[in-house]
Structure 1
């Protein structure tokens, strides 16, 4: 499950974690009583900072004016960690697939962080690595805006392409994510971005919160020609598409229901296979909800609906988390292999930056930072 509780705390509580009581009814879709009622075993805490232009700022044509989003991401990481620490009997930090299994086995809710847009990297691969060290385990290649790495699909209408998918720097980003074990998240990406990333990555991928375009035709949903590239075997990439509950991505206005969400799950399973679908929800990050899926307490009703449609207990276990854990473990194994093989970190610098590399050691032609 992907949820935006840290962003709700930012918007409603000005990041004051001491004012938040997750043991009581929260204003959004998520709190501890409802998580327990919904029998939730693990969540991705989305440490989200919106696109600069959506926050009233101009990042500039070369994206050099939005690096303060790194600050906001660090604040979101701080909020997520503080909330997890505040309720140690409920939440347990998780950094690996094994950590998640241990947390669930001990009755805790495994808590993993994800960065929902590569604009939050501040154009820097070094920031990517530092996020990983802080516990982040997925990065979405784009949100509702293009960035230096990748094209976004937009929201309900397509964005005019910028790079034609991944930029050259974006290919480097995907490779570096593979090397360190950061999951490549393809939600919000343009179809060209998704296809190029699927071809380039050597590790499994996720869509943290996306539905099926064949069921409801909006840019944010995944088309069949992309779903057909997901799988295990020749010319396919392992992955899991975690279905989004946002009503505008489920059905026409006023028509989003629990059954409609089940339709998206079944379509993705039909095209990519039941091993490649999961639950993303996006609770606390969506304004409305489908009828029957009003908050995190309603998950059992969704599973009951799919059981009635013929899903086996094993298939439902895959949907609830085993599919994601397989993908996560696969990314971990790829990272271990690349590091064991001695693949070095990528030190590429965004070529439009003017704040680095301005001086040289006299007579050496080598870059240095600062005065000798």
Structure 2
């Protein structure tokens, strides 16, 4: 059944859905190829922070274009987005450093409630996804597969009950960054968290982890790990970007490093973002590179020219094709790698159950 569900089906993007070409005289052919690829292998975007925005401003209607945010259904469709990971993290600065674990849990539960309400509000476009099969099925039905997570690792202190409860609510990603068990070193309890996440087929998102801890987490996990939004520190030495040793650890864990669209972290142009994708692909390998734009903020933050909202994805794919990326590497970047990571995590969980 899974093989049947994985058969590619068009998600409806065509030339008429594309944004204006970045270079009309030379990019038309590449844009047409990009549209054809995205119709079968749409983008699985690893990070969107719109849940927090919607929690603060519940009046947003993403069924129509909204100038106040960079995420809405028309632009997701125009960009060929077929799967979206909806972050449940509270943005830095919005949660007190001295917040108790109970407060963090309460905040996270409210984020989950807002995210589930979003799914229910737009059932013709968004579909809650819990597995790789759900991801394929949503694409085949013309929906955007919507995964919940990550949730913050700070919600877990000396018990794994919260992790199991989040899983029961539909969450499939955990972010250890900032957790007391993943500060300078992975503690004994941290190893327990990794084992339980593996058993539940929950992905570990290493975004924001110190490099040494990120490498420890990648090495301890039996399932692939992800970095839901990052860029190459070798090109842009931003504190949120990852050095090559972390990219190598992700490759060795068969994981996924998803490149963000953030001027401060990648540079101010589409070409600069493509440079970061080239670097991650060269170090982590074509099987471990993905996309995690981190759209969804209100107001939208500084974005590279040509990638100011999700509708810019076809331009980026066209740029990569012009750079000589094989179509197999492009389809791995947009869809196949994300689905493979989910399937591998589920296989590890089934093996643990036996």
Q: Quick check: TM above 0.5? A: yes
Of the three residues 41, 46, 52, the one matched with 1:7 is: 52
Q: Is the partner of 2:265 in helix, strand or coil? A: helix
Aligned-pair distance for 1:122?
Answer: 6.0
The alignment's TM-score, normalised by the length of structure 2, stands at 0.83
1:69-113: CA deviations, max 9, x gaps? 211111111111111111111111110001101100111111111
What's the offset of the Cα at 1:115? 2.2
Unaligned segments of structure 1, at least 5 residues: 14-18, 152-163, 341-372
Contact 2:232 2:242 in 1 (8 A): yes
| 1:199 partnered with 2:213 | no
Contact 2:108-2:151 within 8 A present in 1 as well: no
User: In the alignment, which residue of structure 2 is the partner of 1:269?
Assistant: 281
**Structure 2 regions of 5+ residues with no counterpart?**
1-44
Question: How far did 1:225 drift?
Answer: 1.6
Check conservation: 1:148, 1:169, Cα contact below 8 A.
no
Preserved contact between residue 240 and residue 265 of structure 2 (Cα < 8 Å): yes
| Structure label with greater radius of gyration | 1
| Structure 1 residue 179 corresponds to structure 2 residue 195 | no
Which residue does 2:23 correspond to in 1? Answer: none
- Distance in 2 separating the partners of 1:50 and 1:77: 15
- The 1:268/1:80 distance shift into structure 2, 3 A limit, reads same
CA RMSD of aligned residues (A): 1.6
Please point out which of 275, 291, 306 is paired with 1:279.
291
Q: Which of 309, 316, 319 is 1:295 aligned to?
A: 309
1:83 aligned partner: 118
Q: 1:150 aligns with which of 167, 172, 182?
A: 182
What does residue range 1-372 of structure 1 map to in structure 2 within 5 Å? 1=45, 2-13=47-58, 19-26=59-66, 27-50=68-91, 54-55=93-94, 57-59=96-98, 65-121=100-156, 124-142=159-177, 146-151=178-183, 164-231=184-251, 236-251=252-267, 256-285=268-297, 287-340=301-354
Secondary structure in structure 2 of the residue aligned to 1:278: strand
Name the CA shift for 1:174/1:88 in 2 (closer, same or farther; >3 Å). Answer: same
Q: Deviations over 1:287-328 (max 9, x none)?
A: 221111000111000000001001122211111021011111
Between the aligned partners of 2:212 and 2:167, the Cα distance in structure 1 is 26
Aligned 8 A contact 2:231 2:265 in 1: yes
Quick one: distance in 2 between partners of 1:228 and 1:72? 34
Separation in structure 2 between the aligned mates of residue 328 and residue 141 of structure 1, nearest angstrom: 18
Distance 2:325 2:95 in 1: 46
SS at 1:228's partner residue? Answer: helix
8 Å contact from structure 1 (residues 165, 194) kept in 2: no
Please state whether the residue corresponding to 1:281 is helix, strand or coil: coil
In the other structure, the counterpart of 1:159 is none
For residues 129 and 117 of structure 1, the distance between their equivalents in structure 2, rounded to whole angstroms, comes to 14
The farther-off stretch of 29-38 and 283-292 is 283-292
Distance 1:137 1:56, change over 3 A: closer
Q: Output one character per residue of 1:234-280: Cα deviation in whole Å (capped at 9) or x when no partner.
A: xx2110101111221113xxxx2111111111100001111110000
How many Å separate the matches in 2 of 1:288 and 1:125? 38
Paired residues, number: 306
